[in-house]
Amino acid sequence: MKHVTLKNGISLPVLKLTKQDLPEIKRLQTKVIGHLSEKAFLQPLTDEEFITILDGNGLLAGVRAEGNLIAFRAFLDPGEDPEHLGEDAGIPKEQWSSVLYSEITNVDPEFQGNGLQRQLGRIMMDEVDTDHYNYICTTVAPFNIASIKDKFELGMHIAALSVKYGTLTRYIMMKNLVTEVSVTDDDSIEVEMAETTEQQKLLKAGWIGTAIQACDERYTVIYRKMK
């Protein structure tokens, strides 16, 4: 794999993590959750999910500084997920086996602000075997601005706004790794992020969310029509 670079110019290698790293992975996840001001934004992975990934059903990459795990990002092959994001994203069922989930990203609070989430995302996207996986899908909580921006920077777009994990409203964001998504240049609609119903209407009518912007201490989502 490649390297990430801290703001001070220090370069750190990105490592593929293994089952031996699981205790460290869990400690970092617990530390990150403990520092969150809005804990509902993060859907932590269970031991079983971590082990599934580490058994070869996805990719778990991390970064160490002075011997300590300071960041990791996880991609998961969801297999026969009963709530498959491919359905939310409008991907034909026969292609769901080519969907990879972008799961949790954890960055040690002491190292936040170095762009590690974004750098890890780009490196891992490059590592995906596109002969097997054609799509990356993920869920993001509305108003989790940092995470939404991260996904847009990785070339993802909002494909749906659904209730997931029982009762939680989530954007379903996706990226087609093989074909570039095409949108109209002259048509855009700006909707407040809190307007769930209006966004759902646009998404069902073939619009996708392509950006967000701050407006008078509120956030709006920019929607464009797919060609």
- The reply to whether 72 and 163 lie within a common domain is yes
The yes-or-no verdict on residue 182 having pLDDT over 90 is: no
Range of weakest confidence among 42-46, 65-69, 114-118, 153-157 = 42-46
- The residue segments making up the domain with residue 216 are 182-227
Q: Kindly report the three-state secondary structure assignment for every residue of 11-71.
A: EEEEEECCHHHHHHHHHHHHHHHHCCCCHHHCCCCCHHHHHHHHCCCEEEEEEEECCEEEE
Largest CA distance in the chain: 52
The yes-or-no verdict on residue 39 having pLDDT over 70 is: no
Structure tokens at 100: 């990879």
Report how far residue 60's alpha carbon sits from residue 74's, in angstroms, rounded to the nearest whole number.
4
- The reply to whether 59 and 123 lie within a common domain is yes
CB 96, CB 137: distance < 8 Å? no
The yes-or-no verdict on residue 158 having pLDDT over 90 is: yes
What's the pLDDT at 180? 86
Q: What is the dihedral angle through the alpha carbons of 49, 53, 58, 60, rounded to the nearest 10 degrees?
A: 110
- The reply to whether 114 and 78 lie within a common domain is yes
- The reply to whether 99 and 84 lie within a common domain is yes
- The reply to whether 98 and 206 lie within a common domain is no
Question: Chain-wide mean pLDDT for the chain?
Answer: 92
The yes-or-no verdict on residue 212 having pLDDT over 70 is: yes
The yes-or-no verdict on residue 121 having pLDDT over 80 is: yes
Report how far residue 222's alpha carbon sits from residue 185's, in angstroms, rounded to the nearest whole number.
12
Question: Mean pLDDT across the stretch 180-190?
Answer: 86
- The reply to whether 56 and 123 lie within a common domain is yes
Report how far residue 17's alpha carbon sits from residue 126's, in angstroms, rounded to the nearest whole number.
17
Confidence class of residue 38 from pLDDT cuts 50, 70 and 90? confident
Question: Mean pLDDT across the stretch 41-52?
Answer: 86
What's 76's domain CATH number? 3.40.630.30
Report how far residue 119's alpha carbon sits from residue 97's, in angstroms, rounded to the nearest whole number.
26
Structure tokens at 156: 């993802």
- The reply to whether 140 and 54 lie within a common domain is yes
Instruction: Count the Cβ atoms, other than its own, within 10 Å of residue 15.
Output: 15
- The reply to whether 117 and 197 lie within a common domain is no
Question: Mean pLDDT across the stretch 83-111?
Answer: 95
Transcribe 165-187 into DSSP letters. TTTEEEEEEEEESSS---EEEEE
The yes-or-no verdict on residue 213 having pLDDT over 70 is: yes
Question: Mean pLDDT across the stretch 136-162?
Answer: 94
Q: How many domains does the chain have?
A: 2
What's the pLDDT at 3? 95
Question: Mean pLDDT across the stretch 77-93?
Answer: 94
The yes-or-no verdict on residue 40 having pLDDT over 70 is: no
- In a 3-state reduction of DSSP, which class is residue 85? helix
Per-residue pLDDT tens digits for 49-80 = 999 999 999 999 999 999 999 999 999 999 98
- The reply to whether 20 and 50 lie within a common domain is yes
Identify the residue whose tokens are 């995302």. Answer: 121
- The reply to whether 113 and 203 lie within a common domain is no
- The reply to whether 166 and 84 lie within a common domain is yes
- The reply to whether 172 and 194 lie within a common domain is no
Q: What is the pTM of this model?
A: 0.90
